[in-house]
């Protein structure tokens, strides 16, 4: 079985378009078989975007970790003034994200790679690939924390039933202050920030 966090070069194509509306703006992205949520904007991503646009404003640098075909990066690039980086392990998803960026004439640093290899970010946005398993997800949490800038925040969306509380405890064990920001339909939105950052502000 092929999964969206793997590269399956033999997977048949099923090109079509994904349409959705965020913040009263409509988007239309190219999509295909073998990518995450290929037929609709998933509930978790929608809630994450709506929460980000309400609570966060124009971070200097943003990383869309596990960008898929690009809905998060493209919406945030459209509605924020930010330097955007997008990463995914799935080459087909990255190719589609590239095409979608070009469709909107947006620029982002876009990479097909496993995890974060360099850079410091004021905002990292992450909808964990649950099917990849806890070991992979927690490694990506560790990498995200390591690549937060001094006052940076990691934004995460997870279902409660998929281990959101355990993820919060793990991020706290990495020295982060974690805050629950929103929850809806079983999804939790929470942020993680290095504690040294908060203590330096007191």
Question: Do 189 and 56 contact (CB within 8 A), yes or no?
Answer: no
Q: What's the rounded Cα separation, in Å, for the pair 15 and 139?
A: 32
pLDDT greater than 80 at residue 11: no
Q: What's the rounded Cα separation, in Å, for the pair 50 and 192?
A: 18
Q: Quick one: pLDDT band at residue 8, thresholds 50, 70, 90?
A: low
With respect to residue 17, please indicate whether it lies within any of the assigned structural domains: no
- Choose from 5-14, 113-122, 189-198 the range with maximum mean pLDDT: 113-122
Percentage of the chain modeled with pLDDT above 90: 81
Opening angle at CA 92, ends 97 and 119, nearest 5? 55
pLDDT value of position 13: 82
* Three-state DSSP state, 116: coil
Mean pLDDT, to the nearest integer, of 128-152?
95
Q: What's the rounded Cα separation, in Å, for the pair 183 and 199?
A: 27
Number of domains in the chain: 1
CATH of the domain at 180: 3.40.50.150
Q: What's the rounded Cα separation, in Å, for the pair 202 and 183?
A: 29
With respect to residue 65, please indicate whether it lies within any of the assigned structural domains: yes
Mean pLDDT, to the nearest integer, of 49-61?
97
With respect to residue 138, please indicate whether it lies within any of the assigned structural domains: yes
Question: Do 152 and 121 contact (CB within 8 A), yes or no?
Answer: yes
Which residues partner with 155 through β-bridges? 125, 191
pLDDT greater than 80 at residue 198: no
Domain range holding 84? 43-197
Q: What is the CA radius of gyration of the chain?
A: 16
pLDDT value of position 196: 72
Opening angle at CA 103, ends 140 and 132, nearest 5? 20
pLDDT greater than 80 at residue 4: no
With respect to residue 115, please indicate whether it lies within any of the assigned structural domains: yes
Q: Provide the token pair at 121.
A: 């970010």
- 33-49 pLDDT tens trace: 888 767 789 999 999 99
Question: Do 29 and 69 contact (CB within 8 A), yes or no?
Answer: yes
> Whole-model pTM?
0.91
Mean pLDDT, the chain, rounded, equals 91
Percentage of the chain modeled with pLDDT above 70: 91
Q: Quick one: pLDDT band at residue 87, thresholds 50, 70, 90?
A: very high
With respect to residue 4, please indicate whether it lies within any of the assigned structural domains: no
CB burial of residue 197 (10 Å; 0-12, 13-18, 19+): middle
- 15-25 pLDDT tens trace: 889 999 999 99
With respect to residue 1, please indicate whether it lies within any of the assigned structural domains: no
With respect to residue 101, please indicate whether it lies within any of the assigned structural domains: yes
pLDDT value of position 34: 81
Q: What's the rounded Cα separation, in Å, for the pair 159 and 188?
A: 6
pLDDT value of position 131: 82
Q: Quick one: pLDDT band at residue 1, thresholds 50, 70, 90?
A: very low
With respect to residue 89, please indicate whether it lies within any of the assigned structural domains: yes
pLDDT greater than 70 at residue 86: yes
pLDDT value of position 200: 45
Question: Do 130 and 157 contact (CB within 8 A), yes or no?
Answer: no
* Three-state DSSP state, 119: coil
Q: Provide the token pair at 20.
A: 């959705």
């Amino acid at each position: 079985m092929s999964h969206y966090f793997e590269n399956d070069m033999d997977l048949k194509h099923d090109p079509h378009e994904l349409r959705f509306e965020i913040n009263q703006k409509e988007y239309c992205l190219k999509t295909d078989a073998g990518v995450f949520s290929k037929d609709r904007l998933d509930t978790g991503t929608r809630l994450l975007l709506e929460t980000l646009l309400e609570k966060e404003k124009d971070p200097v640098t943003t990383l869309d970790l596990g960008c898929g075909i690009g809905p998060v990066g493209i919406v945030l690039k459209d509605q924020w003034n930010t330097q955007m980086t997008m990463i995914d392990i799935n080459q087909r998803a990255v190719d589609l994200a590239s095409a979608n960026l070009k469709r909107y004439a947006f620029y982002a640093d876009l990479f097909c790679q496993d995890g974060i290899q360099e850079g410091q970010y004021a905002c990292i946005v992450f909808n964990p690939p649950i099917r990849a398993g806890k070991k992979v997800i927690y490694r990506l949490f560790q990498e995200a924390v390591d690549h937060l800038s001094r006052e940076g925040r990691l934004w995460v969306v997870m279902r409660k039933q998929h281990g959101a509380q355990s993820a919060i405890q793990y991020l706290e064990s990495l020295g982060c202050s974690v805050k629950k920001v929103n929850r809806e339909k079983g999804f939790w939105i929470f942020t993680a920030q290095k504690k040294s950052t908060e203590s330096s502000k007191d």
